[in-house]
Each structure stands twice: as C-alpha cells, then as structure tokens.
Amino acid sequence: MAKISLGMVSSTVSTVSTMTKEQFTQQLSTIVGKGKRIKFMNAIVGTLSDPSKMPCYSYSIPAKHCQTGSKLRLVKGSTCSDCYAMKGRYPFPNVQNAMNTRFDSLGNLDLWQAVMIELIKETYSGSGTSFDKKYFRWHDSGDLQSVPHLQAIANIATALPDILFWLPTREYPMVSYYLKNNNKPENLTIRLSAHMIGKAIDRPMPNTTTSSVESGNGYTCPASKQANTCQDCRACWHVNNVDYVQH
C-alpha cells in the first residue's frame, strides 16, 4: 500500500483498515523528528484531545456513539440526560471532525493500539508540554465500543507502565466480561459511572472504582470550586468513589 503522507491531517476508513501494524512500525522508523512523527501518527488515529479542565491529555470520540449513554440521554434524571459532551465546544465542526477521525480509527484495533502506544510515548517524552506526564484520561467524550476496545486500552496501559490511565465508563457488561477473562493492568483505573443523578453504585465490581453525580458518597470533586479545573487533584485515578457536581 502507499505510504501515508506527512501532509495528511486526517485518516480515512479505507486507509486505516488496510494498513498493518508492521507497515506502521516500518514507516515510523523512517521518520526523523518528534513533530513529524506525531503528525504521521495523528494522520492515522487523530490527535490527542486536551480538555481545558484536565491536567493531562485525553482521547475523545463522539458522544453520539455511546451505547449505554445514548439510551440514558432519553431518561429524565440520568447522568447523561444533560450530557456535557453534547454542548459547549463539543458540537463545533472542528471538534466533531477530530472526534470522528478518532472513532473511524477504531475500525482497526490492532493498528490503533500500536499507534496509540507510540503516540502517547512520543507526546509525553522530553519537554514541550505543560501537562502532567504521569496521567492520561480515556474519553472525555464517548465511551467503550466493545470488549476488544477495552482489551486494546489495557494493552496500551501495559506497554506504558509509567503512566496512570483513567477510564470512566457506563459499559458495565463489557467491563465484567473483560475482568472475568483478564488481569487488569495496575496502572489502569476502570471507573464505573453511576447511571442516575443522586445515586451511587451499591456493589461495584472487583478491581474497579466508581463515580456518581451529587450522591453525597465518597470524595467530592473540587473542580466547581477551583475555576472548573482539576488543578493538583488526581482523585479520579486513585479514590474509590468520586462524587461529581452536575454540569
């Protein structure tokens, strides 16, 4: 297949679906310079997202593809009924285009995880970023698409043991299936999100943490009292239940 041009700013489904992990590795080895290497990888899996609230990079896909969340958006009083990822800056065309590129790249998970490992490693190496290089968040918009998607995320965490990964999700069955058949990497925090405002998850799964919205349980997220930013708080990667303020 033809090489992906460094001038490309987005991937296509056909290009991503035909490129192999081995071809990616070979092409990446011929590219010199951090900026050029990142640009090449961005053409395949999209850019890392940098939500203003967070202390680290993230990776977002369109909220319209949330499987459980799409159903909960129709339920009054659910945590998705007024989804933040469906308003604010998220609907802007440039943001949606970037998220669609990321979503399309999930069509080839074998390639996707190989590129993501190198992209995160390259982005977090050396200087040039003010973000906390010990932390990474999955899905400031969007959610898991399948058990293989979760497995790929776990493989990325295993390959990058010095980074702590946080995965919030409402896809309980996918998580349950994965945990029954795999050992979760220690540096991957899977945080199950409660479905309804004001209610916490009573019986969390082993090897997971939880979150709720205004349930009065656990650690209260301080962001609303500090300009809607995390600042030096890293509770989402560590504590058993984070209780968020509705937004």
Long-range contacts of 221-228 (CB under 8 A, 24+ apart): 221/245, 223/53, 228/53
Q: Kindly give the confidence (pLDDT) of every residue in the chain, 247 residues in length, as a single tens digit, with 9 standing for 90 and above.
A: 334 333 333 333 445 557 899 999 999 999 999 999 999 999 999 999 888 888 999 999 998 999 999 999 999 999 998 877 666 677 778 888 899 999 999 999 999 999 999 999 999 987 666 778 899 999 989 999 999 999 999 999 999 999 999 999 999 999 999 999 999 999 999 999 999 999 999 888 999 999 999 999 999 999 999 999 999 999 999 999 999 998 6
- At 127 the pLDDT is 62
User: Strand, helix or coil at 244?
Assistant: strand
- Quote the pLDDT of residue 210: 97
| For helices 93-105 and 109-124, angle between their N-to-C axes, nearest 10 degrees | 120
The dihedrals phi and psi of 222, each to the nearest 5 degrees, come to -90, 0
pLDDT of residue 1: 33
pLDDT score recorded for residue 69: 93
> Could you give the CA distance from residue 138 to residue 141 in angstroms, rounded to a whole number?
8
> What are the boundaries of each domain within the chain?
47-110+128-244
pLDDT of residue 86: 65
Cα(208)–Cα(103) distance, integer angstroms: 25
